[in-house]
Structure 1
Amino acid sequence: MLAYVAALFFVIFCVRVLHDPRRFSNAVFLGTGATLLAIHEAGVFDTAQPTRLPVAYLLLLLGLGAVAFVFYLIANGVKMVRKEGRRPANLLTLLTGLALVGLMALLGAAGISDSSLLARVAGAVIPVVGYVSFLFLSFVGYAFLYGRLPVRRNVDFVVVLGSGLIGGSRVPRLLANRLDRGRKVYEAQATRGNPPVLVTSGGQGPDEDLPEADAMADYLAERGVPRDRIRRENRSRTTEENLRFSKAIMEELKQDYRCVVVTNNFHVFRAALTARRTGVRGQVVGAPTAAYFWPSATIREFVAVFLSYKVVNLGICMVLGLLGLAAAW
């Protein structure tokens, strides 16, 4: 029975992706289908046939995987601090790893002690952590798939999102990767006889000598993109402003435009959600990011998406926590 329900969720997922791939609910349908299929394959709740994978082995594998993941997060967090400094955003993987260590210690203490207080705390925490973990894995899985959707149709614009300059005027490697990916999309379409307009999007920060859009445009022009095919959006400070102000430029030049938005791979799905919310007609594609930077950036992106639906998500967490507490009571 679970296999049929899982198949239904996968069908709904495919239909919704074909209609609009820029929805967080797509990730939820994908995650639900995958979870039900995993439960079915494990045979945990199937009394009509022998268990395919003994529950003890399954729990052992999950436990070992969790421990390995925690060590990876802590090691990555230490590396992030060494390479990028101690800014709060760079501490996310380290703090997440330490929080999971605390969770494991709580569960272990609740399991071996007779403390009713620890049992109740664990009962309240477990469903909340389970819900957040489910959303995170769904987010990562669908973001991975969305970032690999091909650009199948001709586009009128390629919008490259800014990410800050170094030394007040120089394009850093992170931003250069975005610009190189945007240039490749431009060149691929130009060979078909319909070169799009490249929009460089980024305002001027307090520590910058010029708007990001100007430095980005110069970078592209130095690498062969004709200057008359570049437009500059030099007012934005956030991703939402990047997209809103770029949309105004595109609509001014062509009302029924189609575009591709370029950012880094860890940022693709959230940028796609923002593009849908701001009414930008186009797909978001990603540029490579250093491997050590990806875990922390992915956690940051997930937190931002989670909080963008904070009323629903925090409400569900509260209900699950209360239910878990009542069950443990």
Structure 2
Amino acid sequence: MFSLILAAVLACSYVYLRRKDPRMLRNGLVLVAACWFAVTGVSQVLAQWFPWTQWITLGIVALTPLAVVVLAGFLISNGVRMMRREGRSLGNLLSLIAGLALLGLPLVAALLVLTLNPVAIGLAALLFFICSYFGVVFVVFLAYAVAYGRMKHTITPAAVVILGSQIINGKVPPLLRSRLDKGLEVYRGVSAQEELAPLLIPSGGQGADESRPEGAAMADYLVAAGAPSQHVIAEEKAKTTAENLQFSAAVAQGQGRGGAMVIVTNNYHVLRAALLSRKLGLDAQVVGSPTARYFLPSAFLREYAAILTEHKVLHALLCLPFVALTVFLTTALVLASS
């Protein structure tokens, strides 16, 4: 019963924190914790009322290694598909790397333990602690990325900013087209209700392998799709998501549209874009467009890696207790074996 009470408290906290500012990753931590205690509480109640349900719980726990193997197989298969369809860049290989790691790291830990060497056992313990920590962080990130991506924008924007991605032969590929179509949907939904239509700002500079700025190609697509040319102002200098947001905000301000913005990107990218918009102090909400399913595993892993990199000092500090615990356990094993 205590678990259910705690789950209810955490659920209320999640609702409050999300209403206060949905662009916070801590909301995901509270959400995952609420779900965990809710499942735990329900399992405990069912075990009291229907004792046979304990066997179901034990069965689920026993099948966990099989689930890990199945997940690893799926990621490896997806990584091979990504490599064939999208090329061999590091970002496209992330699901393959993650799948191999899921299979390889438990084997490495087991081999270290089998040596019966205290230092090797300590390294296996550290490997377990670190992998568990980053696994939990990934679950928090993924859960809240999905939750945030399903939120509807609640503001009337002065500008709709569409984040760029790579163009091919000067044209808009399907992934970027999805963003532009979503941006048009937001634009039309607002302009049909308001006297002053929002400004459409397609944002993206020119990469080394691109024949023109992304923003220019995106602007051509928007106008060809029916957006009034006077409502489309391209931003053509940004190289990163942070620059997309900063430079687009400056364009909006320069056009007298310094109010709230709706930022449009693909669904896997919404959370990081939202976190960055908050960090930059922008009054903005982020909405996501659909993405091909085969692309999502690597895309979410890439976003997760980017968020870890942006907060690497914090995560390093949070891992220090695991290092200290490992040193303590290793020292205890060495003393016990001497």
> For residues 308-323 of structure 1, what are the structure 2 equivalents within 5 Å?
308-323=310-325
Let me know the Cα RMSD of the aligned residues.
Answer: 2.4
Cα gap change, 1:115/1:37 in structure 2, threshold over 3 Å: closer, same or farther? farther
Paired residue type of 2:60: L
- The SS at the match of 1:158 is strand
Paired residue type of 1:223: A
When the two structures are superposed, what TM-score results if normalisation uses the length of structure 2?
A: 0.89
Take 2:113 and 2:53, find their aligned partners in 1: how far apart are those partners?
27
Name the residue aligned to 2:31. Answer: 30
Name the residue aligned to 1:213. Answer: 215
Name the residue aligned to 1:4. Answer: 5
Kindly state the Cα deviation for residue 207 of structure 1 after the two structures are TM-superposed: 2.7
Name the residue aligned to 1:151. Answer: 153
Kindly state the Cα deviation for residue 42 of structure 1 after the two structures are TM-superposed: 4.1
Q: Is the 8 A contact 1:121 1:325 kept in 2?
A: no
Kindly state the Cα deviation for residue 303 of structure 1 after the two structures are TM-superposed: 1.1
Kindly state the Cα deviation for residue 115 of structure 1 after the two structures are TM-superposed: 5.0
Take 2:240 and 2:54, find their aligned partners in 1: how far apart are those partners?
48
Q: Is the 8 A contact 1:177 1:287 kept in 2?
A: yes
Kindly state the Cα deviation for residue 113 of structure 1 after the two structures are TM-superposed: 6.6
Take 1:52 and 1:112, find their aligned partners in 2: how far apart are those partners?
35
Once the two structures are superposed, residues 246-291 of structure 1 have per-residue CA deviations (whole angstroms, 9 ceiling, x without a partner) of 1112223346511110011111100000111112211101111111
Take 1:171 and 1:85, find their aligned partners in 2: how far apart are those partners?
18
Q: Is the 8 A contact 2:23 2:271 kept in 1?
A: yes
Paired residue type of 1:34: C
Take 1:211 and 1:303, find their aligned partners in 2: how far apart are those partners?
26
Take 2:31 and 2:283, find their aligned partners in 1: how far apart are those partners?
24
- The SS at the match of 1:261 is strand
- Where has structure 1 moved over 6 Å in runs of 4 or more? none
Q: Is the 8 A contact 1:155 1:257 kept in 2?
A: yes
Which residues of structure 2 form unaligned runs of 5+?
Answer: 334-338
Name the residue aligned to 1:266. Answer: 268
Name the residue aligned to 1:296. Answer: 298
Take 1:322 and 1:200, find their aligned partners in 2: how far apart are those partners?
49
Kindly state the Cα deviation for residue 41 of structure 1 after the two structures are TM-superposed: 3.7
Identity %: 36
Take 2:61 and 2:122, find their aligned partners in 1: how far apart are those partners?
22
Once the two structures are superposed, residues 137-184 of structure 1 have per-residue CA deviations (whole angstroms, 9 ceiling, x without a partner) of 1111111111111123322111001102112x1111111111011011
Name the residue aligned to 2:18. Answer: 17
Q: Is the 8 A contact 1:217 1:232 kept in 2?
A: yes
Take 1:297 and 1:123, find their aligned partners in 2: how far apart are those partners?
30
- The SS at the match of 2:161 is strand
Cα gap change, 1:118/1:14 in structure 2, threshold over 3 Å: closer, same or farther? same
> For residues 1-329 of structure 1, what are the structure 2 equivalents within 5 Å?
1-43=2-44, 53-54=54-55, 56-109=58-111, 114=116, 116-167=118-169, 169-194=170-195, 195-254=197-256, 257-324=259-326, 326-327=328-329, 329=333
Take 1:72 and 1:108, find their aligned partners in 2: how far apart are those partners?
23
Q: How many residues align?
A: 327
Q: Is the 8 A contact 1:157 1:259 kept in 2?
A: yes
Which residues of structure 1 form unaligned runs of 5+?
Answer: none
Take 2:136 and 2:126, find their aligned partners in 1: how far apart are those partners?
16
Cα gap change, 1:233/1:190 in structure 2, threshold over 3 Å: closer, same or farther? same
Moved more, 104-113 or 116-125: 104-113
Cα gap change, 1:60/1:140 in structure 2, threshold over 3 Å: closer, same or farther? same
Moved more, 151-160 or 233-242: 151-160
Q: Is the 8 A contact 1:123 1:325 kept in 2?
A: no
Q: Is the 8 A contact 1:31 1:134 kept in 2?
A: no
Cα gap change, 1:56/1:117 in structure 2, threshold over 3 Å: closer, same or farther? farther
Once the two structures are superposed, residues 48-68 of structure 1 have per-residue CA deviations (whole angstroms, 9 ceiling, x without a partner) of x96953453232132222121
- The SS at the match of 1:224 is coil
